[in-house]
Structure 1
Amino acid sequence: MRDAVEKVTGKARYTSDIDPGTQTLYLATVRSSYPHAKILGIDYSQALKYPGVIRVITAKDIPGENKYGKIIRDQPVLADEKVRFIGDAIALVVASSQDIAHQASKLVKVQYEVLPAIFSPREALQPQAPKLHPKGNILYHFKIRKGEIEEGFKNSDVVIERNYQTQHVDHAQLEPEAAIAYYDKEKTLTIIAPTQHVFFDRLNIIRALGIPKEDVRVIQPKVGGAFGKREDIYAQIHVALACFLTKKPVKTTYSRSETFLVTQKRHPMEIKLKTGASKKGKLLALEAEIIGDTGAYASWGVNVLRKAGVHISGPYEIPNVKVDSYAVFTNNPFCGAMRGFGTAQAAFAYESQMDEMAQALEMDPIEFRIKNAFKKKSLTATGQILNSAIDVEKTILEAAQEFGWANYSKKTPENGKKYGRGVATIWYGIGFGAGIEDHGEAIVELHPNGKATLWVGTVDYGQGSSTIFSQMVAEQLGLRLEDVKIVHGDSANTPNCGSTVATKQTYITGNAIKNATDRIRKDILEIVSSEWKVQEDQLLLQEGKVFLKNGKKKGISIQEVVKLFDKKGKPTRRQAIFKGEQFTSPLDPQTGQGNAYFPYTLGTQIAEVEVDTKTGKVKVLRLVAAHHVGKALNPQLVRGQILGGISMGYGFALSEDAKVLNGVPQAQDFGKYKLMKSSDLPDIKVIIVESPETTGPFGAIGVGEPPTLATAPAIINAIQDACGVRISNLPATPDKILNALAAENERI
């Protein structure tokens, strides 16, 4: 990675490392103490008297609109009438130091009328439940209706039905939320913050302040982890407001506790899943009800529950499908984007059930999956014909071969320890899908010194996009990687490429980069072939020069070629846009039929576990991961993404639980939130399955999120194989396993 050295040497500067100057003020947020209440009054007179306090800001001080949000703008910048979760922002205390701001914030007294609160999404669905938002407690209901579901189950020889439940999960990124706002020399309000979308931040800030977009600039510095959390706005809109009102630089950094308390989580889901199959092992019907707790505000809830609903049928051909997927408001912390975007929860359910079905049919789990797997021209649950590279079977076979599935023999149980294996196969649709605008834009310029600059509106928060994008430009134009400069994460100087989410930037913005560089490359070849009187296909671009492939002519430097651009009337700067939505379509609101996503990535993981039946502890001994990525443009980065996804899936399966009790997150530090350590990870074998996607840049698709999906169900299936109990409520903690073993013993 291009920025690896400065990160490992400590030279990288994150938001909290940046000093805006001696006049900097600091901000602390006064937050709700109740999950649901009316605000009757705010008394900040004592806070104003505290030495060092400059100003206290409330909703009445907001000059523009007091609302923001990702899809639906339902979240107040500062709550003025009602609070909907513990942690809702009510007031901002601006002071001469961070400590003074925090101490003074405790002096702000808020008078509440406490309202009935709802913490269960099923309770929120009841007719008599308190209405948390004006339109009710159902944010979104997504449907799929394909075939004849009743007929499908009627024709099934085996029917499996089970309820599955997943937990709140925190992103647990190393860097807590932080933000800085100041006016630059041009009097532009400039915000520095760890974010995944500088243009979304700018849009919501200008609406809140009531000023034109030209007056606001958002910059992303180095980011200490994101995983979807940085998609929502936290401190950046508050420091912008404080700076706008005081005309002084303002900075804030959340404590770890505050980050755990107020930032969004992964949606917990309750999934009721029913599948039917013939005695020959063909899936005939699938019915699912998904209830997702989106918490107090919408965030990405609509898209997450749509994506969960689309993917719940797995990478399998099923002629009859019925899905109802709900995003439901509660007074829990709000939930949004997290690695997997709803598909990790879905994969846990459908792959757990696929194993149960294989067992009921007395079929090998590998054989069963291959028998039902998508192939090219298969029809998905939304009626989409799969025309992209579909290699489900290849990922299954390569994983099985590497694992040694065919010749596997369980270790002999010893001292209460039992052993087993489990497999999970997943699919993941790239981008926003469903016909939603999803474009990438790139500007590439070749300079007189023979070097190039790339401008993209994406952000790099550790996933390596700046490396891949620079590599694309370098290879297309025959330059060294160090001769390509990338400008990104700056709303004032880059084109808008949308959010850096949904494993879409390699495919979508990558296509824009390829299209822009293709034009410059074509011009280089055209100019040199004309000068040398040779065919373009006889030329080679490499190491900053153009050569004849046969080596009969001394190479000409790109620097010299650039001089010829003016003579030939060719521009050295090219811009291109790629629209990902061209391959998808809006889904029918009643049937869910349409082209949901494009393209799709696929993967299979196989885990071997050791279960201590005396303690309930699970140890994953080894894991094989075979993931289809199209074409791996940088195998080292691809491998890193797969390993990172597995580590998050590992915690999702066995330990991570951002448990919320009466609206309060119970884990507010890393001592209580049980993250897996690198030393906990098993031996992992990564297999990169390549099958170039014809519409992808150089055949690439993407790999950021999919590896997270398969890990949990593979481990859960291995636990069942080892000791005979099915864990359907994540995470699979020792106490749950012991309880399941005790229940199984009583049943026997």
Structure 2
Amino acid sequence: MVHVGKSYPIHDALGKATGRTVYAGDMELKGMLHMAVLFSKIPHGFVKKLDYSKAMELPGVVDVLYYGNTCQKEYNRYHSQYRQDLIHTERIFNQHVRFVGDRIAAVVATTEEIARKAVSLIEVEYEEYSFALDAHETLEGKIDNMDEHGSVFGSIANEVGTRPENDGTFVEVDTTTHIDRINHMAMETHAAVAEFDSQGELTIYSPNQTVYGIRSFIADLFDMDYNKVRVVKTTMGGSFGGKQEWVLEPLVAAAALRVKRPVKLVYNREESIRSTYCRAPMYFKNKFTFTPDGKLQDVDCDLLLDAGAYLGNSINYARTLGSKFFRTYRYPHETFHAQVALTNTIVSGAFRGWSSPEFNINFEHGMNMAARKLGIDPIELRLKNVIHEGDIELSTGLNLGDFKGRQVLELGREKFDWENRKKEIAEFNAQNKRYKRGMGVSLGGHVNGFYPAKPDYTRVDMCVTESGTVRCGVTLHDHGCGTVTAFKMIAAEELGIEVDQVRIQEGDTAVTPQDFVGCFSSRTTYVMGRATQECAKLLKERIKEHFAVERGCDVADVVLDGMTVYSTKEPDVVYTWSDLVYASQQRYQHEIFASYEYVSKDNPGVCGGHFAYVEVDTYTGMVKILDYLAVQDIGQAINREICIAQTQGASVMGAGAALTEHVHYRPNGVPFANLKDYHLLNSFEAPSVRVELIENHNTEGPFGAKTIGEVCHVPASAAVVGAVNDALQSDLNDLPLTPDKITAYLKNREER
């Protein structure tokens, strides 16, 4: 291939490097106003009195919005599709406040500085209620007046397969897992702009993952015609799931509709941590059952998920986690039960991998504890149970296709020098009292779209311009990782032209084709990329047909060569694509275009195997990652260096979740919402991640590609945790494994 598999810079690299790229927070529209939000300072209560008179007296203040003068229709921030069946519990502004950071009111002013100063002048009187900062407290009845739907949702359960009869030799392994809330920490904080024009059209500009989802959400919320709502996806400075639920968009929409001028709202870092959403805290209890030789027979998993103050996506998230049991290993039976509990904390929501990393942290810990109990090498135990190529996923009946789990494990074992390192680690640990070393492995699987859970289709349009280049219409949502470039490469590869001869813009409901599903479930490359390839194939046929009409020849004799076309019957008569467009327009009144609708009808297995080598200081509890290897089953890398960079970033993100990252709370319900207390891995702490890609080109994805953006994050945390437990011969799985937790564990073990 000419382009696919090579490495190209992302489409806006120059603009970002020179500071010319415009993000939502940079936008300036004629007559633009600025917005700042008043947040609740208590974890649970009722606003008895709100006095904003002093704010209105401040020069430059245009209006104050609050629960008394704005739409009070309840909604669900997870609304991403037309007529989506969700429980609605949230409002734009809330009088019954449910967490520190809940929205009470907002000021619209001529500058952001004035708006923020005016917010500080608003006086609030609360009636305070009891509150719960942990899902277990909710189960115990500490709060009973959070929502009319109740505070606990517990109907999520499934059982798959047939439980094998225990012959008395089965080995049971009981484990528990707790993962804390973590923030997405994208470089770009949350921002949105809204404009309501003289024709009654509301335009929303935001970095988001589904422009059509926002359109349906905003139109439904404000009872507007869908044709009167336009949503434009702006340049995004990272999402990781943090910009696929709607927090700022309804606020700026309400303000623009009220003041009839453009309004911009930009959250600072503290507001983005405290008042948007985080990955949910989760508590797992499990029983894994194995034969003595290591064949997994049964998994029984119970989950308690902390939804935070509003339900959002939490029921769907727990249900989705329960569907992930058969994406990596094959065994005959599992049972899953989940409860979702509201608490007076930051709202829980989507995070990169959409429950697969959390599932993996829990499941792979069980595999590690079983390997220890059975006396089997952790890689060998996984090889005994890993899905084979062509296996059927027990829960869905899907053929998992060319799944490369075995090859991932075997290549990783070789490249990580697993067997030799085991000996080196044993010698090192025998000679050192303070420092202990260990290795961990994690195999994590994911999906390539929504099929068969729900419909997954998209449309792509292409046309040849007067200059002979190609304009491609596809509703993309680039997170800053190079999606636009990857799609230009797919189109250019199929068309046989250069990458810079293809133009693609991101999602805009007024311009780009309908794609109601959005950038979710790792479907972009696999589903939309294939649609783009198929549309390019169709466009080539259209070019041939137009040339055949122009020259009066048989279509079968027409040849495309780069951006030229000719017939084998008269090879000396060569048209450029620009020549052909001119002829088609002037003589036949036709545009050279193609439109293709693609329906996804499969979802093969895809996985990554990550290997971590760590050193633990038993005196301080500090963990150093000495080496890290990620092996990814990718089918075909489209833009190679971008795939490698995605994997490296995901590995560091997972390591941070394993060791340092969490949003913790004071007893009074106030979170620590700053980068002083929220510890990201710094550059000197981050491991140097080696990446190996396994490519076999045997899928329905474009040129055989599978997903990479989420699946490369799935195994990361579990690999690091496994390495720490190997070093300490511990069973820790209360994430993050902070120095305090490690030293407390070692102290308690020593005292026992």
TM over 0.5: yes
- 2:327–2:605 contact (8 Å) kept in structure 1: no
Residue matched to 1:471: 489
* Distance change >3 Å, CA 672–CA 55, structure 1 → 2: same
Residue matched to 1:15: 24
Amino acid at match of 1:83: V
Residue matched to 1:686: 691
Q: Tell me how far apart the structure 2 counterparts of residues 91 and 735 of structure 1 sit (CA, whole Å).
A: 39
Q: Tell me how far apart the structure 2 counterparts of residues 330 and 561 of structure 1 sit (CA, whole Å).
A: 64
- 2:542–2:594 contact (8 Å) kept in structure 1: no
Residue matched to 2:478: 460
Residue matched to 2:642: 637
Deviates more, 1:351-360 or 1:571-580: 571-580
- 2:208–2:233 contact (8 Å) kept in structure 1: yes
Q: Could you tell me how far 1:42 is from its partner in structure 2?
A: 2.5
Residue matched to 2:519: 500
Q: Tell me how far apart the structure 2 counterparts of residues 471 and 361 of structure 1 sit (CA, whole Å).
A: 49
- 2:94–2:102 contact (8 Å) kept in structure 1: no
Whether 1:735 aligns to 2:748 is no
Q: Tell me how far apart the structure 1 counterparts of residues 388 and 735 of structure 2 sit (CA, whole Å).
A: 31
Q: Could you tell me how far 1:292 is from its partner in structure 2?
A: 1.2
Q: Tell me how far apart the structure 1 counterparts of residues 662 and 353 of structure 2 sit (CA, whole Å).
A: 16
- 1:144–1:381 contact (8 Å) kept in structure 2: no
Q: Tell me how far apart the structure 1 counterparts of residues 397 and 253 of structure 2 sit (CA, whole Å).
A: 44
Q: Tell me how far apart the structure 2 counterparts of residues 204 and 231 of structure 1 sit (CA, whole Å).
A: 12
After superposition, residues 610-649 of structure 1 pair within 5 angstroms as 610-649=615-654
* Corresponding residue to 1:49 among 21, 37, 57: 57
After superposition, residues 567-606 of structure 1 pair within 5 angstroms as 572-580=592-600, 582-583=601-602, 598-606=603-611
* Secondary structure of residue in 2 paired with 1:191: strand
* Distance change >3 Å, CA 527–CA 660, structure 1 → 2: same
Whether 1:656 aligns to 2:675 is no
Q: Could you tell me how far 1:165 is from its partner in structure 2?
A: 0.5
Q: Could you tell me how far 1:700 is from its partner in structure 2?
A: 1.4
- 2:130–2:143 contact (8 Å) kept in structure 1: no
* Distance change >3 Å, CA 568–CA 726, structure 1 → 2: farther
Whether 1:95 aligns to 2:109 is yes
Q: Could you tell me how far 1:647 is from its partner in structure 2?
A: 1.4
Q: Could you tell me how far 1:687 is from its partner in structure 2?
A: 0.7
* Distance change >3 Å, CA 296–CA 666, structure 1 → 2: closer
Q: Could you tell me how far 1:314 is from its partner in structure 2?
A: 5.8
Amino acid at match of 2:187: L
* Corresponding residue to 1:428 among 446, 454, 464: 446
After superposition, residues 372-521 of structure 1 pair within 5 angstroms as 372-408=385-421, 409-411=423-425, 412-413=428-429, 414=432, 416-433=434-451, 435-497=453-515, 498-521=517-540
Deviates more, 1:451-460 or 1:106-115: 106-115
Q: Tell me how far apart the structure 2 counterparts of residues 52 and 371 of structure 1 sit (CA, whole Å).
A: 69
Residue matched to 1:26: 34
Structure 1 residues 333-361: Cα deviation after superposition (integer angstroms, max 9, x where no partner): 11111112111111111111111111211
Residue matched to 2:681: 676
* Distance change >3 Å, CA 718–CA 63, structure 1 → 2: closer
* Corresponding residue to 1:746 among 726, 748, 751: 751
Identity %: 27
* Distance change >3 Å, CA 663–CA 348, structure 1 → 2: farther
Structure 1 residues 457-481: Cα deviation after superposition (integer angstroms, max 9, x where no partner): 2211212111111112212222211
Residue matched to 1:203: 216
* Secondary structure of residue in 1 paired with 2:317: helix
Residue matched to 2:710: 705
After superposition, residues 719-734 of structure 1 pair within 5 angstroms as 719-734=724-739
* Secondary structure of residue in 2 paired with 1:705: coil
Q: Tell me how far apart the structure 2 counterparts of residues 610 and 350 of structure 1 sit (CA, whole Å).
A: 23
Q: Tell me how far apart the structure 2 counterparts of residues 575 and 665 of structure 1 sit (CA, whole Å).
A: 52
Q: Tell me how far apart the structure 2 counterparts of residues 720 and 290 of structure 1 sit (CA, whole Å).
A: 22
* Secondary structure of residue in 2 paired with 1:200: helix
Q: Tell me how far apart the structure 2 counterparts of residues 569 and 95 of structure 1 sit (CA, whole Å).
A: 52
Amino acid at match of 1:505: T
Q: Could you tell me how far 1:571 is from its partner in structure 2?
A: 5.3
Amino acid at match of 1:658: V
Structure 1 residues 339-396: Cα deviation after superposition (integer angstroms, max 9, x where no partner): 1211111111111111111121111211111111111343435152434221110111
- 2:152–2:340 contact (8 Å) kept in structure 1: yes
After superposition, residues 20-419 of structure 1 pair within 5 angstroms as 20-21=29-30, 23-62=31-70, 65-71=73-79, 72=86, 74-126=88-140, 129-139=143-153, 141-149=155-163, 151-152=164-165, 157-184=170-197, 188-312=201-325, 315-408=328-421, 409-411=423-425, 412-413=428-429, 414=432, 416-419=434-437
- 1:389–1:692 contact (8 Å) kept in structure 2: no
Q: Could you tell me how far 1:548 is from its partner in structure 2?
A: 9.0
Amino acid at match of 1:325: A
- 1:333–1:663 contact (8 Å) kept in structure 2: no
- 1:410–1:419 contact (8 Å) kept in structure 2: no
- 1:162–1:273 contact (8 Å) kept in structure 2: yes
TM-score normalised to the size of structure 1? 0.91
Structure 1 residues 296-346: Cα deviation after superposition (integer angstroms, max 9, x where no partner): 222222332122212246611111211112332222111111112111111
* Secondary structure of residue in 2 paired with 1:708: coil
Amino acid at match of 1:706: V
Deviates more, 1:191-200 or 1:698-707: 191-200
Structure 1 residues 49-93: Cα deviation after superposition (integer angstroms, max 9, x where no partner): 223222112233235835342243524343344222222212121
Q: Could you tell me how far 1:434 is from its partner in structure 2?
A: 5.3
Q: Tell me how far apart the structure 2 counterparts of residues 403 and 7 of structure 1 sit (CA, whole Å).
A: 36
Q: Could you tell me how far 1:692 is from its partner in structure 2?
A: 2.6
Q: Tell me how far apart the structure 1 counterparts of residues 455 and 278 of structure 2 sit (CA, whole Å).
A: 25
Q: Tell me how far apart the structure 1 counterparts of residues 165 and 698 of structure 2 sit (CA, whole Å).
A: 34
- 2:393–2:400 contact (8 Å) kept in structure 1: no
Q: Could you tell me how far 1:187 is from its partner in structure 2?
A: 5.2
* Distance change >3 Å, CA 661–CA 437, structure 1 → 2: farther
Q: Tell me how far apart the structure 1 counterparts of residues 669 and 346 of structure 2 sit (CA, whole Å).
A: 8
Q: Tell me how far apart the structure 2 counterparts of residues 18 and 324 of structure 1 sit (CA, whole Å).
A: 46
Amino acid at match of 1:509: M
Q: Tell me how far apart the structure 1 counterparts of residues 455 and 358 of structure 2 sit (CA, whole Å).
A: 25
* Distance change >3 Å, CA 672–CA 550, structure 1 → 2: farther
* Distance change >3 Å, CA 45–CA 535, structure 1 → 2: closer
- 1:282–1:372 contact (8 Å) kept in structure 2: yes
Q: Could you tell me how far 1:439 is from its partner in structure 2?
A: 2.7
Q: Could you tell me how far 1:152 is from its partner in structure 2?
A: 4.9
- 1:118–1:330 contact (8 Å) kept in structure 2: yes
Amino acid at match of 2:329: Y
Q: Tell me how far apart the structure 1 counterparts of residues 485 and 382 of structure 2 sit (CA, whole Å).
A: 36
Q: Tell me how far apart the structure 2 counterparts of residues 551 and 387 of structure 1 sit (CA, whole Å).
A: 48
* Secondary structure of residue in 1 paired with 2:406: helix
Deviates more, 1:719-728 or 1:434-443: 434-443
* Root-mean-square deviation over aligned CA pairs: 2.7
Q: Could you tell me how far 1:696 is from its partner in structure 2?
A: 1.6
Structure 1 unaligned residues grouped into runs of 5+: 584-597
- 2:77–2:247 contact (8 Å) kept in structure 1: no
* Secondary structure of residue in 2 paired with 1:228: coil
* Secondary structure of residue in 2 paired with 1:78: coil
